[in-house]
Amino acid sequence: MVSNKLDKIKFCKNCVESNQRFMGSIQHLDTKDGIKQRTSFDEGICGACNYFEQKKTINWKDREKELIEILDKYRRDDGSHDVLIPGSGGKDSIYLSHILKYKYKMNPLTVTWAPHIYTDIGWHNFQAWQNMGFDNELHTPNPLVHRKLTKLAFTNLLHPFQPFVLGQLNLAPKLALEKKINLIIYGDAYFEKGVGGNLYNISGFQNKDLFHSDSENLYFGGVHMSELEKYGISKNDLHPYLPIRNKSEEIKKLTVLNLPYYLNYNPQSNFYFASENSDFKVNPYRSEGSYTKYSSLDDKLDNLHFYTWFIKTGRGRATEDAALEVRNKIITREEAVMLVKKYDGEFPKKYFKEILEYLDMDEKKFHKIVDSFRPEHVWKKKGSKWELRQAVWMK
Ligand SMILES: [Zn+2]
Report DSSP state, residue 14. Answer: S
Quote the pLDDT of residue 23.
72
Residue 26 located in a structural domain: no
| Tally of structural domains, the chain | 1
Q: State the DSSP string of 277-343.
A: HS-----SSPPTTSS-SSSS-SBTTHHHHHHHHHHHHS--HHHHHHHHHHHTTSS-HHHHHHHHHHH
* Residue 45 CA, ligand 1 centroid: distance in Å: 5
Domain CATH number, residue 283? 3.40.50
pLDDT single digits (tens) 73-91: 999 999 999 999 999 888 8
* Residue 49 CA, ligand 1 centroid: distance in Å: 4
* Residue 220 CA, ligand 1 centroid: distance in Å: 32
* Residue 201 CA, ligand 1 centroid: distance in Å: 19
- Residue-wise pLDDT tens for the chain (395 aa)? 344 567 789 999 999 999 988 775 555 565 655 555 677 888 899 988 998 888 899 999 999 999 999 999 999 999 999 999 999 888 888 999 999 999 999 999 999 999 999 999 999 999 999 999 999 999 999 999 999 999 999 999 999 999 998 999 899 999 999 999 999 999 877 777 766 666 666 778 887 877 888 888 889 999 999 999 999 999 999 999 999 988 878 889 999 998 989 998 877 788 888 889 888 888 888 889 999 887 778 899 999 999 999 999 999 999 999 999 999 899 999 999 999 999 999 999 999 999 999 999 999 999 999 999 999 999 999 999 999 999 999 97
* Residue 1 CA, ligand 1 centroid: distance in Å: 16
Residue 156 belongs to domain spanning? 59-313+344-395
Quote the pLDDT of residue 263.
92
* Residue 345 CA, ligand 1 centroid: distance in Å: 19
* Residue 56 CA, ligand 1 centroid: distance in Å: 16
Residue 261 located in a structural domain: yes
Residue 283 located in a structural domain: yes
> Do the beta carbons of residue 333 and residue 14 sit within 8 Å?
yes
Residue 279 located in a structural domain: yes
* Residue 55 CA, ligand 1 centroid: distance in Å: 14
Q: 267-277 and 317-327 helices cross at what angle (nearest 10)?
A: 90
Quote the pLDDT of residue 359.
97
* Residue 52 CA, ligand 1 centroid: distance in Å: 9
> Do the beta carbons of residue 186 and residue 97 sit within 8 Å?
no
* Residue 326 CA, ligand 1 centroid: distance in Å: 8
Rounded CA-CA distance 290/342 in Å is 9
Residue 82 located in a structural domain: yes
Residue 159 located in a structural domain: yes
* Residue 163 CA, ligand 1 centroid: distance in Å: 29
Of 337, 342, 345, residue with least CA distance to 316: 345
Strand ranges (DSSP E) for 30-77?
41-42, 45-46
* Residue 368 CA, ligand 1 centroid: distance in Å: 33
Rounded CA-CA distance 270/55 in Å is 17
* Residue 342 CA, ligand 1 centroid: distance in Å: 19
* Residue 335 CA, ligand 1 centroid: distance in Å: 14
- pTM attached to this predicted model: 0.91
Report DSSP state, residue 204. Answer: S
Other C-beta atoms within 10 Å of 130: how many? 16
* Residue 28 CA, ligand 1 centroid: distance in Å: 25
* Residue 291 CA, ligand 1 centroid: distance in Å: 19
Residues in the chain: 395
Own/partner contacts of 279-283, CB < 8 Å, gap of 24 or more, are 279/124, 279/128, 279/131, 280/91, 280/94, 280/125, 280/128, 280/129, 281/121, 281/124, 281/125, 281/128, 282/121, 283/121
Of 300, 205, 298, 308, residue with least CA distance to 259: 205
Quote the pLDDT of residue 41.
84
Residue 226 located in a structural domain: yes
Of 257, 259, 198, 264, residue with least CA distance to 59: 264
Residue 339 located in a structural domain: no
Rounded CA-CA distance 364/373 in Å is 15
